[in-house]
A = this chain, B = another copy of it.
């Protein structure tokens, strides 16, 4: 009966990854969402990103958002940074948990930041040194780990080679991003097995998109390998930039709902999370794709009559 871990650590990414992929919203709304999420029992939140405001206007007010948030001392907040300048801003704002992204697909990496994957990894190695010097940690997020919208297949060996370089540079954690929802359970099993066999001690986090409905099946496959860290986004906030109208991030309520029913402790109060998802819907002014938000948890009863 112990084929599943007893506990899972969910990182809520709605305030950053979610809102970054929606139309810009007011600073006060971002703060309200952060504050609401901080009271749900979730213990990790990706709060903001320190990117150039011309590149990503959605996050131009990162410092103001962070300064205005009622931070919960029991929550570990993290920030995404694109480069050394972003890392400086994040550290100056008081963040110690930083994330950087590199794409396993060279085409995707060049399309996003006009550099090759190898060039990005050079920059990341330097950045890790700087952040470690300042007492912080760096998670390296490997995007397109299960497929690339331009290249199609991304070989497991290619993803592993990116992890090798990140690990050699001192990455504190690796995250695999299923950027456009191309992952399926056998791909998850193959990649996790391959990376574990080379980097058994490196903390591993999985970030699934529900673009093609497979996110929770992918979570299940990862749980069976003992993976305990997952990203999810309140309400499923954040669409898929490559398929207008399609879903992006796995909804946090769907993840918590399934895990808790399976007896896996997330620490999250599902009712409070659903309330936060409703707030997220009001903020972005559209219906979010979370199935549990629509239908209610399985404990909800229909009325006889």
Does the CB pair A246–B299 fall under 8 Å? no
Query: Is the beta-carbon distance between B298 and A147 smaller than 8 angstroms?
Result: yes
The minimal Cβ–Cβ distance linking A115 to chain B, given in whole angstroms, is: 16
**How far is it, in angstroms, between the C-alpha of A41 and the C-alpha of B138 when the chains are bound?**
49
1/0 contact string of A95-115 vs chain B (CB within 8 Å): 000000000000100010000
Query: In the assembly, how many copies of this chain are there?
Result: 2
Contact with B along A249-272 (1 / 0, CB 8 A): 001001001100111000000000
Interface residues on A, range: 35 or more
Whether A245 is near chain B, meaning CB under 8 Å from some CB there, is yes
Q: What is the bound-complex CA distance between A185 and B242, given in angstroms?
A: 30
Taking Cβ atoms with an 8 Å cutoff, the residues of A that contact B are 4, 107, 111, 147, 149-150, 152, 180-182, 184-187, 210-217, 219-221, 240, 242-243, 245-247, 251, 254, 257-258, 261-263, 290-292, 294-302, 304
- Say yes or no: B186 contacts A263, CB within 8 Å: yes
Tell whether, in the assembled complex, residue B304 and residue A107 are in contact, meaning their CB atoms are under 8 Å apart: yes
| List of B residues within 8 angstroms of A254 by Cβ | 212-214
Tell me the complex Cα distance, A246–B298, Å.
13
Query: A291 to chain B: which residues have CB within 8 Å?
Result: 181, 210-213, 246-247
B258 engages A213 (CB within 8 Å): yes
Some 5 contacts from A to B, beta carbons below 8 A apart, are A181-B295, A185-B262, A213-B254, A217-B219, A245-B294
Q: What chain B residues lie within 8 Å of A300 (beta carbons)?
A: 149, 243
- Using known A-B contacts A111-B304, A184-B262, A220-B217, determine if residue A211 contacts B149 with beta carbons closer than 8 Å: no
Task: Give the CA-CA distance A246 to B294 in the complex, in Å.
Answer: 6
Which chain B residue has the least Cβ–Cβ distance from A305? B111
Q: Find chain B residues with CB under 8 A from A295 CB.
A: 180-181, 211-212, 240, 243, 246-247
Complex contact A302–B242 (CB within 8 A): yes
Does B150 lie within 8 Å of A302, measured CB to CB? yes
Please name the 7 residue pairs, one residue from A and one from B, whose CB atoms are nearest each other, closest first.
Answer: A149-B302, A246-B295, A213-B254, A213-B291, A216-B217, A243-B295, A182-B298
Q: How far is the CA of A170 from the CA of B290 in the complex (A)?
A: 42
Most B Cβ at <10 Å: residue of A4, A180, A216: A216
Contact of A213 among B263, B292, B296 (CB under 8 A): B292
For A152, give its contact among B210, B290, B292, B301 (CB under 8 Å): B301
B301:A149 contact, CB within 8 angstroms: yes
- Is A220 a contact partner of B149 (Cβ separation < 8 A)? no
Query: Contacts A211-B295, A212-B291 hold; do A184 and B149 have CB atoms under 8 A apart?
Result: no
Partner of A186, one of B147, B186, B221, B262: B262
Known: A212-B297, A213-B292. 6 other contacts (CB 8 A): A149-B302, A184-B261, A186-B263, A213-B291, A214-B216, A245-B294
Instruction: Give the distance to chain B from A63, nearest Cβ to Cβ, in Å.
Output: 33
